[in-house]
Structure 1
Amino acid sequence: MLEVLPADVADLIEQGGVIAYPTEAVYGLGCDPDNNDAIEQLLQIKQRPWQKGLILVAGDYQQLTPYIDESQLTAEQLQFAKSKWPGPFTFIMPVKPGLSQLLSGSFDSIAVRVTAHEGVKELCAAINKPIVSTSANLSGQDPALSALSIKQQFTGIIAGLVKGELGTQASPSTIIDAKTGTILRQG
């Protein structure tokens, strides 16, 4: 398994590779959100049904605009989401028409977050877009909390491991419905 710095991961992702990387609380598995083959590979590795959808994590809000339909949100709803970012808040937002169902699952929305984690911000800057993010584990198992755990579970299965440290957050992000303001999962 190739170990790379966040700034050097672009080639692996652009070639359709699935990578593991440290986030605010746990290691994530990620890939290019515009590459269906890579998304299918990620779902297969994780043994996750496509219907559940995935999260996109961005280094800044502008990276999310190709994926969300802002026209379905009021200025107040958008401002509320932006007031929580960067940070540990994932918002469920209307998905832009034509986006891969592998990202949105069986929903007409997509989960998005703007991270405060420096390594993830560097990674998104290197690929100039958000990255698919799902916890690095097989469905139903605990997420990986160390590089060693990633190596034990995913060597020979994923393209690379991004070097870096986990953030200090103890739990996954809070998930909020952007339209209603309802908290769907407390972080």
Structure 2
Amino acid sequence: MAKYFDVHPDNPQARTISNVADRIRSGALVAYPTDSCFALGCQMGNRDGISRIRSIRNLDDRHHFTLVCQDFSQLGQFVHIDKDVFRAIKASTPGSYTFILPATKDVPRALPHPKKKTVGVRIPDHTVTQALLAEIGEPLLSSTLLLPGEDEPMTQGWEIKERLDHVVDAVVDSGDCGTEPTTVIDFSDGEAQIVRRGAGDTARFE
């Protein structure tokens, strides 16, 4: 049964954030809020967590997982970025964007796209997510909490707890965080390709 954590949206309780982080380090799969919508997240090397996300969302091995990073310096450890792409991404973070880029050797083998060797990265503009990332000290491997056959992600923590009680280990709730997922920009070939139009403005990438 999933543990439910009620977190203040503007002043996250340090003890609660620490408790959630400890669970993640111990192998937990959590549902947590971001600046676009709820996500499923676990540690990067958590193979069981990855498998459970695939099962919950009915994903194949071509799905791009996202490394949700605390800041740009952390993001730069896990993807290769040239100068032009660096400027474009830097100007758009933190925010509701996911960028697909070539993965570095620091990314666990199970994560990159099997053919392209790419991975998604993002830096969220969300107080609770940032507090959790700071406590963990590394990115969260994540995927949008969008269930098979549904058009929009769930927005209420209590509903997530109710519906996913036996398939996730914890639910972090800090209030409604919207239904629109991130805008996804593929920079793997050096040029911006809009893969999905979402919460982030695409004007600078057109």
| TM-score bucket (shorter structure) | 0.7 to 0.9
Distance 2:117 2:82 in 1: 17
Q: Which runs of 5+ in 1 are unaligned?
A: none
Check if 1:31 corresponds to 2:42. yes
Task: Determine helix, strand or coil for the equivalent of 1:52.
Answer: coil
Residue from 114, 117, 142 that aligns with 1:133: 142
Q: Does 1:184 align with 2:191?
A: no
Residue 61 (str. 1) matches residue 102 (str. 2) = no
Q: Match for residue 129 of structure 2?
A: 120
Residue 118 (structure 1) shift:
0.8
Cα separation, 1, equivalents of 2:88 and 2:162: 40
Percent of pairs with identical residues = 27
Q: Does structure 1 retain, via aligned residues, the 8 Å contact 2:65–2:142?
A: yes
Partner of 1:147: 157
C-alpha change, 1:166 and 1:25, in structure 2 (3 Å) is farther
TM norm structure 2? 0.80
Does 2:94 align with 1:74? no
Q: Deviations over 1:5-25 (max 9, x none)?
A: 434311111111100011223
**1:21 equivalenced with 2:32 (yes/no):** yes
The amino acid that maps onto 1:161 is V
Q: Distance in 1 between matches of 2:84 and 2:103?
A: 18
Letter in 2 for 1:129: E
CA distance in 1, matches of 2:161, 2:76: 34
SS at structure 2 position matched to 1:24: coil
Aligned to 1:160: 170
Q: Distance in 2 between matches of 1:16 and 1:175?
A: 28
**Larger RCO (CA within 8 A; separation ≥ 6):** 1
Q: Read off the aligned partner of 1:164 and give its amino acid letter.
A: S
User: What is aligned with 1:8?
Assistant: 19
Matched pairs, number? 183
- Deviation track 1:98-152 (CA, whole Å, cap 9, x = no partner) reads 6334322323211111111111111111111111221223333231111122012
